[in-house]
């Protein structure tokens, strides 16, 4: 699906194509070889995932996306080839569930409530088969520690769970759309964008922006600033704040009873409401401008950390992470030796003699 943007007269006027990377161009114009070949540059639309990636590790960003004339070893502006394609089973779960939800909203399947869940499961299963067969997803069942059937069950539970939560929280309304493209401008030169999973407008609850998550644990690998980013885009586009932001947990639908390690039972609500205010949005806009300025200054040093590196496609070829691991391991060994000496029962020598 193509992302398109309608600019007002001050911004150049007309309809523009927004590529995932590269320059925003008028619809129908042919990209020159420079635009096709090169990664991001100063005119590129900045997305939340790109900002996050840059902030976590600038090197990961430039290797993944490429930047203007910057050469990371494969020619000016070229991206670094990924050493291996990891199994994308986690991504597939999200894609499958979201496809069923997208059709529910955008094809208005909710108008037939009796058959809604069955129809969504049908859509989900078709998408599941399609995604599993895609070579680029490189599904590795042993890495996933799941069979194909178990994977589908997980997706099916996510779909039925969403319907449960959607009904409980009345995530329907006169305007209820999924996969909504939002592009706004922080200033004349700084387009930012994103695709909201779902936006709902109702008289009683106003504008609600939802993002669905299929994580095993709530709020793990989930950054509330992602939803605030959508709020910023909404504000830039429509000049008003949305009213509510929520994560919807596919694995923890409304009414599900869960028990924590201490044995405490919780009846799940299915959602996590995210607080936000004008200052949050200003802070995010500032972060976007700062990241763009740093990219322009070609600040692409690596920032290794286990939390980020373990999910990085370049982990096996990254010298910065290898050096950090070696240093950490040397530190651990040093510590271990001291422990041995201190705890040794024999071999004491008094060097003061
Ligand atoms: S492995 Fe870590 S340090 Fe290296 S590029 Fe990836 S995130 Fe950055």
Residue pLDDT, tens place only, 101-114: 999 999 999 999 99
**Mean pLDDT lowest among 11-25, 158-172, 235-249:** 11-25
Query: Mean pLDDT, the chain, as a whole number?
Result: 87
Q: What is the pLDDT of residue 7?
A: 56
Nearest Cα residue to 210 out of 179, 185, 232, 240: 179
Grouping H, G, I as helix, E, B as strand and the rest as coil, residue 353 is: coil
The full DSSP string for 132-154 is HH-GGG---HHHHT--HHHHHHH
User: 314 CB under 6 A from ligand 1?
Assistant: yes
Is pLDDT above 60 for 14?
Answer: no
Residue of 57, 62, 80, 322 to test ligand 1 pocket, by largest number of atoms within 8 Å of CB: 57
How do residues 206-237 score in pLDDT, each as one tens digit? 999 999 999 888 767 789 999 999 999 999 99
Looking at residues 85-99, what average pLDDT do you find? 92
Query: Ligand 1: which of 301, 307, 315 to mutate, most ligand atoms within 8 Å of CB?
Result: 315
Q: Please say if the pLDDT value at position 85 is more than 90.
A: no
Question: Ligand 1 within 6 A of 320 CB?
Answer: yes
Does ligand 1 lie within 6 Å of residue 317's CB atom?
no
| Pair type for strands 244-249 and 46-47 | unpaired
Residue carrying the six token digits 């320059």: 23
Report which secondary-structure segment, H or E, holds 200.
strand 191-202
Residue 299 CA, distance from chain mean position: 23
What gap in Å lies between CA 296 and CA 290, rounded to an integer?
10
């Amino acid at each position: 699906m193509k992302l398109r943007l309608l600019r007002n007269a001050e911004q150049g006027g007309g309809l523009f194509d927004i590529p995932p990377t590269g320059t925003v161009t008028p619809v129908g114009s042919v990209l020159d070889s420079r635009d096709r070949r090169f990664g991001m540059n100063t005119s590129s639309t900045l997305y939340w995932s790109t900002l996050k990636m840059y902030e976590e590790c600038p090197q990961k960003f430039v290797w993944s996306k490429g930047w203007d004339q910057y050469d990371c070893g494969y020619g000016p502006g070229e991206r670094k080839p990924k050493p291996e394609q990891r199994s994308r089973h986690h991504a597939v779960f999200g894609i499958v569930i979201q496809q069923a939800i997208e059709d529910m909203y955008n094809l208005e399947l909710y108008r037939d409530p009796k058959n809604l869940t069955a129809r969504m499961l049908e859509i989900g299963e078709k998408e599941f088969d399609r995604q599993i067969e895609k070579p680029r997803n490189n599904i590795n069942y042993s890495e996933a520690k799941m069979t194909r059937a178990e994977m589908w069950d997980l997706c099916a539970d996510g779909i039925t769970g969403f319907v449960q939560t959607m009904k409980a929280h009345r995530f329907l309304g006169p305007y209820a759309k999924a996969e909504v493209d939002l592009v706004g401008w922080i200033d004349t030169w700084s387009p930012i964008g994103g695709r909201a999973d779902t936006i709902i407008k109702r008289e009683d609850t106003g504008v609600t922006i939802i993002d669905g998550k299929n994580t095993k644990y709530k709020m793990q690998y989930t950054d509330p600033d992602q939803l605030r980013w959508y709020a910023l885009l909404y504000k830039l586009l429509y000049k008003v704040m949305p009213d509510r932001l929520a994560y919807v947990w596919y694995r923890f639908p409304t009414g599900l009873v869960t028990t924590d390690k201490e044995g405490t039972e919780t009846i799940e609500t299915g959602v996590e409401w995210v607080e936000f205010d004008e200052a949050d949005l200003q802070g995010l806009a500032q972060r976007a401008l700062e990241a763009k300025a740093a990219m322009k200054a070609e600040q692409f040093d690596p920032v290794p950390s286990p939390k980020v590196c373990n999910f990085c496609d370049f982990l096996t070829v990254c010298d910065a992470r290898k050096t950090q691991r070696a240093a950490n391991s040397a530190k651990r060994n040093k510590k271990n030796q001291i422990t041995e000496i201190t705890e040794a029962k024999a071999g004491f020598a008094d060097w003061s003699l």
